[in-house]
Amino acid sequence: MTPGARIAAAIDILAAIEEGTRPADDIAAEYFRRRRYIGAKDRIAISAHVYAVLRHRASIDWWIARASKGDIAPGARSRIIAALPIIDKWSEAEVAASCDGGRFRPAPLSPAEQRLVHALAGRTLTHPDMPRAVANDIPDWLLPHLEAVYGRRLEDEIAALNAPAPFDLRVNALKGDRETARRTLAAEHIQAEPTPFSPLGLRLRSRAPLAATAAFKDGLVEVQDEGSQIAALLAGARPGMRVVDFCAGAGGKTLALAAQMGNRGKLVACDTAAWRLERAGQRLRRAGVNNVERRALSSERDPWVKRHAAAFDLVFVDAPCLGVGSWRRNPDAKWRSTPNDLAELVIRQHDILASAARLVEPGGRLVYVTCSLLREENEAQAEAFVAAHADFALYPASRAWAETIGGASPGGDDYLRLTPARHGTDGFFAALFARIPTAAG
């Protein structure tokens, strides 16, 4: 594909993302699936254009308004065109040559667009006049929430959150060890290095067509961010346990928990979306997992929960959240979120945690995890839970780390908090609670 054809495709994909409600990666995947003639290198280049705009939309819109003096409204085409000189460092001539109306290329630049490109040539993405939220490419309403967590460190943390994520894999201990997986990948010309914290993690040196490899087809490796791996490891699932993955989704952490259990014991994967659990079936089979029961719930208070009260050693709650910690992978999500979303999620997290707690037997453990960075969804939820449940006590994350991974926790004492800037993972939070044994027990 020519550079112009790639730009045209990027504009089409971005327009579909802006007009739709589905995640950006789903929309991009569908676009490429319908155009199988687009090669791997072209897909990577097109996606880079799209995701650059999604990560830096606030800054790009600020520049469009300033440089065009209001003559151009922000939209898929104008955002892509503006990104070319200030992010990709294209010259005016390169932009004009790629947008000339030729075969498969965007329509020629209008006079206003020509003036915009000229004004942006040689500019950098940030500018001293930008408000703090714009300079950090975060929604205005989220700025105070993130400032409350990071203060003067906000710029460093958000810069890491706005960068592309690495490509992490989790080695399936049911099929082999990390060195075996590394050698298997190397035989297919994919270089991977051990992750710094997870003993099961591998990080690829560059993105690769993993689905075609023997390591993936045989279930030896699964795509999973190192932070997500750590959250599952911290739970301390062991062979013979009775475990519930209460918000299992498509089964990423279910797979990790099952591997820790060595296929021995009982693991129930629950979710309110039956289609997500159905999608997990193929992954479970590929991984060689055979101790998982998938159960669709009507809600967090499904009668099944009451019937199985105090029946499990470990209940893992990967709660729905605003997903701030996963912006590296889903930058479109930050522009879709609203204050109402946060308010509703906080209530839902409270209800899910309270209901899931009923499943934990005395002496058992409850694990609460989010991929959020906001205190409202993390520490505040943990504190509220302990205050409302006298039969549960906080189990220090640093102690759980020493017991499951070994050594000192890099992410806190009472709770675990991982961030892209400090740990190179997605943003993750984990709180662990032990149910106090009864006097009779």
Query: DSSP of 340-408, one letter per residue?
Result: HHHHHHHHHHHHHHHHHHTTEEEEEEEEEEES---GGGTHHHHHHHHHH-TTEEEE-HHHHHHHHT-S-
Position 311 scores a pLDDT of: 97
Residue 19, amino acid: E
Strand order in the sheet with 221-223: 192-194, 201-204, 168-171, 221-223
Let me know if domain 226-435 sits in CATH 3.40.50.150.
yes
End-to-end CA distance of the chain: 69
Contact 411, 212 (CB under 8 A): no
Closest by Cα among 401, 391, 392, 364 to 243: 364
d(C-alpha 229, C-alpha 329), whole Å:
16
Let me know if domain 168-223 sits in CATH 3.40.640.10.
no
Angle between helices 154-161 and 143-150 (to 10 degrees): 120
Give the CATH number of domain 3-127; options: 3.30.70, 1.10.3470, 1.10.530, 1.10.940.
1.10.940
Beta strands in 3-54 (DSSP E): none
Position 441 scores a pLDDT of: 47
Question: For residue 306, what are its two tokens?
Answer: 């009451």
* Rg (alpha carbons) of the chain, rounded to whole number: 24
Taking CA 18 as the corner, what is the angle to CA 142 and CA 334, rounded to the nearest 5 degrees? 20
Residue 193: CB partners within 8 Å, gap ≥ 6?
202, 203, 205
Position 278 scores a pLDDT of: 87
Burial track 339-365 (b if 16+ CB lie within 10 A, e otherwise): eeebeebbeebbebbebbbbbbbeebb
d(C-alpha 265, C-alpha 427), whole Å:
30
153 DSSP assignment: G
* Residue-range domain boundaries for the chain: 3-127, 168-223, 226-435
Position 40 scores a pLDDT of: 85
Angstrom CA distances, 217 to 172, 184, 276, 353, 384, stand at 12, 12, 21, 35, 43
Closest by Cα among 220, 150, 217 to 179: 220
Strand partners, 374: none
Closest by Cα among 170, 3, 162 to 84: 3
Q: DSSP string of 81-144?
A: HHHHHHTS---HHHHHHHSSS-TTSPPPPPHHHHHHHHHHTT--S--TTS-HHHHTT--GGGHH
Position 440 scores a pLDDT of: 55
Position 206 scores a pLDDT of: 79
Q: What is the pTM of this model?
A: 0.93
Residue 165, amino acid: A
Interstrand relation of 201-204 and 221-223 (parallel, antiparallel or unpaired) = unpaired
pLDDT values of the chain reduced to their tens digit, one per residue, 441 residues: 999 999 999 999 999 999 988 899 999 999 999 998 999 899 999 999 999 999 999 999 999 999 998 899 999 999 999 999 999 999 999 999 999 999 899 999 999 999 999 999 999 999 999 999 999 999 999 999 999 999 999 999 999 999 999 999 999 999 999 999 999 999 999 999 999 999 999 999 777 888 889 999 999 999 999 999 999 999 999 999 999 999 998 889 999 999 999 999 999 999 998 888 888 888 999 999 999 999 999 999 999 999 999 999 999 999 999 999 999 999 999 999 999 999 999 999 999 999 999 999 999 999 999 999 999 999 999 999 999 999 999 999 999 999 999 999 999 999 999 999 999 999 999 999 999 987 654
